[in-house]
Chain A
Amino acid sequence: MNKIISFIAKIGNPVTSFIIMLGAMFMLILQIIASIPYCLRRFHLVIKELFFSGVLSLVIISVSGWFVGMVLALQGYNTLQRFGSVSVLGSLVALSLLRELGPVLSAILFASRAGSGITAGIGLMKATEQLDAMQVMSVNPVSKVFAPKLLAGIIAVPILNVLFNTCGILGGHFVGVTLLGLNNGAFWSQMQDSVSFNYDIINSIIKSFIFGICITLLAVFHGVTSKATAEGISSATTKTVVHSALAVLALDFILTAFMF
């Protein structure tokens, strides 16, 4: 009997803590949504966050996009060569970047570059009791700290995604046309023939928009709920990166199933 009870307790504890986490997260989301109008009136808060999460990610996003595009073109060329249809390389690179690789990789890079920073920042504010101090001074930390970060994430991730795609396609063009000597016109015309604006590009931007919301929410949530110790902050940062990578990949599957 005791064994059964302890078994049920073993299952029940993670389930209830998961439900508690969901509830806390939902409350946080509601609070953040409620304070978005405040943020829009004080837009310099958002601009500051955009600088740290967006502008400082420009280099890593463009460089990795360039290399992903080059690798895609190189691998695609080797495979397509066997079937004698190297001419579709342009559409291969563009479609795989726009539909999957661009949104997913830029989101994961954003999570590890900016998401971890958001969590560590909020965790440290919590550990040094800055959040409590704000509340004492009747400044709402949700509207002053969390909501600007969320808005900045929502704005930054789609832009980074578009940049990633552009750099990737240019990288693919560099390998395909400049190094491997494909026909420049055929490369672009095959691409233009298969990529449609409404279908591929809009969906790519919608995807990254959703990923941006998801990553920044997770980052803010893990920062707020972190233990106020050095280990607490470091484990919260790890959790942010792991959870957002998992969430992005799972969401990507669901979104792809709906979109394409």
Chain B
Amino acid sequence: MKRITLDFWVGVFVLIGIVCTIFLSLKVANIVSFNNYNKNTYTLYADFTNIGSLKNNAPVKVSGFTVGKISDISLDPQSYQAKVTMQIDNEYKFSSDSSAEILTTGLLGEQYIGLKSGADTETLQNGETISYTSSAMILEQLIGKFMTNMSSK
């Protein structure tokens, strides 16, 4: 076989490898989110006593509509609460008495943060913290409560 034909086919082979790697990293692992790419965002914080199995890059939703994503989760060494950093799209503003809760899609689905807007006319600015939070629902604690209720009856 001629050398140029070999080169061509090996080139095609390598190209297929590169295309597949790009597909895996972008579409499957989502290193650059297509949806939020190049959009201007601002940062909000929320402290939770228990985040359950909330992960980085989980969506932040309002009424089921995604308005941002979680960019970082860390532990506050003073209060021992989990500090969740959220990137919210600039076009959505929330009142300063908004509340955040950790919800689950379906029984075994991914966890996300649901925001509920309050009545205040002032809005949350970049870098502010949402003060009203409710933690993730932990099944064991619910069962524990249920058991103590049952036994006290």
Contacts and interface: CB of A to CB of B under 8 A. Distances in A.
A201 B1 CA distance: 35
Contact of B17 (A158, A169, A195, A196): A158
A162 interface: yes
Contacts of B28: 94, 98, 169, 191-192, 195, 201
B13 A55 contact: yes
Interface of A: 44, 47-48, 50-51, 54-55, 58, 83-85, 87-88, 94, 98, 156, 158-159, 162-163, 165-166, 169, 188-197, 200-201, 205
Interface residues of B, number: 30
Interface of B: 1, 3, 6-7, 9-10, 12-14, 16-17, 20-21, 23-25, 27-31, 55, 57-58, 105-110
Given A85-B108, A87-B106, A88-B109, A163 B25 contact: no
Nearest to A191: B28
A241 B113 CA distance: 51
Contacts of A205: 21
A197 B26 CA distance: 9
A82 B106 CA distance: 14
Of the candidates B9, B20, B27, B28, the one having the most CB atoms from chain A within 10 angstroms of its own CB is B28
B6 A166 contact: no
Contacts of B13: 50-51, 54-55, 58, 156, 159
Contact of B10 (A55, A190, A191, A201): A55
Contact of A201 (B16, B24, B57): B24
Contact of A44 (B3, B9, B25, B107): B3
Contact of A162 (B9, B20, B30, B107): B20
Contacts of B57: 192-193
A93 B88 CA distance: 31
A192 B29 contact: yes
Contacts of A194: 110
A193 B55 contact: yes
Contacts of B30: 192, 195
A162 B27 contact: no
Nearest to A56: B9
A52 to B, nearest CB: 9
B107 A195 contact: no
